[in-house]
C-alpha cells in the first residue's frame, strides 16, 4: 500500500481506494470484499443488505433539507480484472495491489490497478461516510462479477431499490457521459483432439508472443492492437511444409481482455522452420510498430514433448483460428465513430487432448450480436468443435431526452466551462441489465479518466479524480 497515494486529494476517495485494493477481489471470488462492504455499512450505522449472490446495498437517508429530493441509486462493481506481466511475481489471491504515483497518474507495479471500478466504489464509500456533504437519500449498490458475466446485476432481486435515478460510476474519461452501451455474448468452443507420439527425427520449438498492450476488448477494440492468439496462429500457418504438429498452446487469460501473450510448443521435421518464424516475426513486429511497439516474438529449441496433436488436427486447428473473425465487425450507422459490433478471441488452449477457445462478441444491436457470434462459431463448427453460446447480457439503448443527462450537462458546463461528450460506448455496463430489472430508471454513467483497463498498464489520472468528485457532489446537491 502507498502512503503517497493516500495523501492525494480528495483524501477520502484515495484512502478508501487503497483500503479496498488491500483486499483480493477477482471476479467470482468477491466473498472478502462483500464482507468488508457489509462491515463498512454496519459500522456507519446504515441499513445494509447483502443479497443471495453477494451484492451489497447500503442505504443512507437524505441530509437535512434534502428529504424532498428524489432518491438516487449510486452504483459500481466490486470485482476487478486480475492481470499481471509474465515477469511480475504477484499472488492475486493473497496480496494487495501495490499502487504508486507515476507523474500525473496512479499505476500498479506490474499488475492491473483496480481503478476499474474501484474509483467508483471509493467515491460512493466517501459519500456514505461523510458527515457534511449535502445529498438526497442514497441507495448505494455494489454489484459482484461485473467483469466475467455481470452475475450480480442479473441476479439482483426486484423490489430492493426505490430510487428512479441511477448514477453508474464506471465510465473511463472525465469529459464523457455514457448514455448507452453494447450488449455481449460468449462463444466457447471445445474439441477432443487425437494425441500421438512425436515422429522419429522431429525437433521441438517453443514460440512466445509477448509485450503486447492488450487492454479492454470493448473500449480498446477499435485501436487495432495485436491479439496474441491471432499472431501466434500466423506463425504456425502453412506449417504443413515442415510437418508441424502442436504440442501445447496457452494464449490469453481473460475473456474480456485483448490477449497480450501466447506460448506454444510445436514439433517439426526441419530446423529451417525457426528461420521461417523469425522472418515472419520481423514482418509482424514492423506491422504493429505503431500501435504495439513492445511486441516481442521469440522461438527457441526446447525439450521434446511426450505427446503431440495429430498432423490433421493441427492443420484443422490452425485453419479454424485463421478463419475466426477478430476485431471490429461493423461500425454504427446511428452514432459516428462508434463500433457497433466486434469480437475478441480471448483464449486459446491446447493441453492434454483438449483444444479450447473463448471469445466475447459485443454489439449495440441484438441481431448483429448474434450474427457475429455465429460467424465466429462457424469455422470451429466446421472443424468439428462443440460450441456453446452463453453469458449473454443486453445493451443499453441511449435516451437523449434523459432528465439526469440534462442535469449533469448543466453542472458540467457551470463547473468546467465546456460541454461534455455525450456518447454510447462499445463496452458492457450494468445499466442495460439494471434497466430491465428496474424499468423506468433514468440512468447515466460517468467517472474519472482511466487508461488501459484490463491490462497491467492500467492507470488513473490524479487530477481527473478531483474533477469527477466535484461533478458528483454538485449533481447530488442540485437535483
What does the block give as the cell for 16? 478508501
Q: What is the maximal distance between C-alpha atoms in the chain?
A: 84
Which is it for strands 421-425 and 176-181: parallel, antiparallel or unpaired?
parallel
Is 109 labeled as catalytic in the residue annotation? no
Q: How far apart (Å, rounded) are the C-alpha atoms in residues 117 and 115? A: 5
Please answer whether residues 266 and 245 qualify as being in contact, where contact means their C-beta atoms are separated by less than 8 angstroms: yes
- Cβ neighbors of 388 (< 8 A, separation 6 or more) are 186, 187, 188, 189
Which run of H or of E encompasses 403? helix 403-416
**Active-site residue among 30, 116, 146, 220?**
146
- For helices 462-477 and 11-21, the axis angle rounded to 10 degrees is 110
Q: How far apart are CA 155 and CA 150, in angstroms?
A: 9
Residues 6+ apart with CB under 8 A from 372: 325, 329, 341, 342, 343, 361, 363
DSSP character for 454? Answer: T
Q: Do the bridges between strand 339-351 and strand 99-102 make them parallel or antiparallel, or are there none, so unpaired?
A: unpaired
**Residue of 457, 468, 461, 393 lying closest to 429 (CA atoms):** 393
Rounded Cα distance between 341 and 347, Å, is 19
The C-alpha cell of 149 is what?
458475466
CB atoms within 10 A of CB 10: 16
User: Is 340 noted as a catalytic residue in this protein?
Assistant: no
Catalytic residue, candidates 19, 30, 79, 145: 79
DSSP-assigned states of every residue in 305-342: PS-EE-HHHHHHHHHHHHHS--EEEEE-SSSTT-EEEE
Q: What are phi and psi of 432, to 5 degrees?
A: -60, -45
- Give me the active site residues, please: 79, 146
Amino acid at each position: 500500500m502507498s502512503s503517497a497515494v493516500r495523501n492525494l486529494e480528495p483524501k477520502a476517495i484515495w484512502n478508501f481506494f487503497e483500503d479496498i485494493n488491500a483486499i483480493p477481489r477477482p471476479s467470482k471470488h468477491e466473498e472478502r470484499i462483500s464482507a468488508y462492504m457489509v462491515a463498512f455499512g454496519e459500522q456507519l450505522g446504515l441499513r445494509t443488505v447483502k443479497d443471495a449472490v453477494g451484492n451489497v446495498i447500503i442505504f443512507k437517508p437524505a441530509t437535512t433539507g434534502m428529504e424532498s429530493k428524489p432518491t438516487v441509486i449510486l452504483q459500481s462493481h466490486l470485482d476487478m480484472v486480475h492481470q499481471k506481466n509474465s515477469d511480475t511475481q504477484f499472488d492475486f489471491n493473497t496480496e494487495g495491489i501495490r499502487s504508486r504515483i507515476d507523474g500525473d497518474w496512479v499505476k500498479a507495479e506490474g499488475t492491473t490497478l483496480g481503478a476499474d471500478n474501484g474509483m467508483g466504489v471509493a467515491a460512493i464509500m466517501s459519500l456514505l461516510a461523510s458527515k457534511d456533504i449535502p445529498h438526497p437519500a442514497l441507495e448505494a449498490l455494489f454489484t459482484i462479477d461485473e467483469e466475467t458475466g455481470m452475475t450480480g446485476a442479473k441476479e439482483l432481486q426486484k423490489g430492493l431499490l426505490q430510487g428512479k435515478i441511477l448514477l453508474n460510476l464506471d465510465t473511463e474519461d472525465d469529459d464523457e457521459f455514457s448514455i448507452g452501451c453494447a450488449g455481449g455474448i460468449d462463444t466457447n468452443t471445445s474439441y477432443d483432439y487425437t494425441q500421438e507420439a512425436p515422429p522419429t527425427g522431429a525437433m521441438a520449438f517453443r514460440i512466445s508472443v509477448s509485450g503486447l498492450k492488450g487492454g479492454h476488448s470493448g473500449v480498446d477494440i477499435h485501436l487495432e492492437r495485436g491479439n496474441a492468439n491471432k499472431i501466434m496462429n500466423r506463425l504456425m500457418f502453412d506449417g504443413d511444409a515442415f510437418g508441424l504438429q502442436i504440442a501445447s498452446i496457452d494464449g490469453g487469460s481473460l475473456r474480456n481482455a485483448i490477449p497480450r501473450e501466447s506460448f506454444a510448443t510445436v514439433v517439426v521435421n526441419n530446423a529451417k522452420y525457426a528461420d521461417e518464424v523469425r522472418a515472419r516475426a520481423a514482418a509482424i513486429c514492423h506491422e504493429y510498430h505503431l500501435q504495439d511497439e513492445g511486441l516481442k516474438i521469440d522461438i527457441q529449441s526446447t525439450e521434446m514433448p511426450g505427446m503431440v496433436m495429430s498432423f490433421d488436427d493441427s492443420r484443422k486447428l490452425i485453419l479454424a483460428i485463421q478463419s475466426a473473425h477478430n476485431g471490429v465487425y461493423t461500425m454504427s450507422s446511428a452514432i459516428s465513430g462508434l463500433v457497433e459490433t466486434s469480437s475478441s478471441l480471448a483464449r486459446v488452449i491446447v493441453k492434454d487432448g483438449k483444444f479450447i477457445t473463448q471469445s466475447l462478441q459485443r454489439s449495440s444491436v441484438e441481431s448483429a450480436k448474434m450474427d457475429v457470434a455465429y460467424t465466429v462459431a462457424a469455422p470451429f463448427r466446421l472443424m468439428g468443435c462443440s460450441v456453446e453460446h452463453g453469458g449473454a447480457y443486453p445493451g443499453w439503448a441511449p435516451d437523449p431526452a434523459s432528465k439526469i443527462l440534462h442535469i449533469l450537462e448543466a453542472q458540467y458546463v457551470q463547473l468546467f466551462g465546456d460541454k461534455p461528450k455525450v456518447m454510447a460506448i462499445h463496452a458492457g455496463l450494468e445499466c442495460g441489465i439494471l434497466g430491465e430489472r428496474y424499468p423506468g430508471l433514468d440512468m447515466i454513467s460517468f467517472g474519472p479518466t482511466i487508461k488501459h483497463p484490463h491490462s497491467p498498464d492500467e492507470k488513473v489520472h490524479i487530477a481527473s479524480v478531483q474533477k469527477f468528485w466535484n461533478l458528483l457532489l454538485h449533481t447530488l446537491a442540485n437535483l
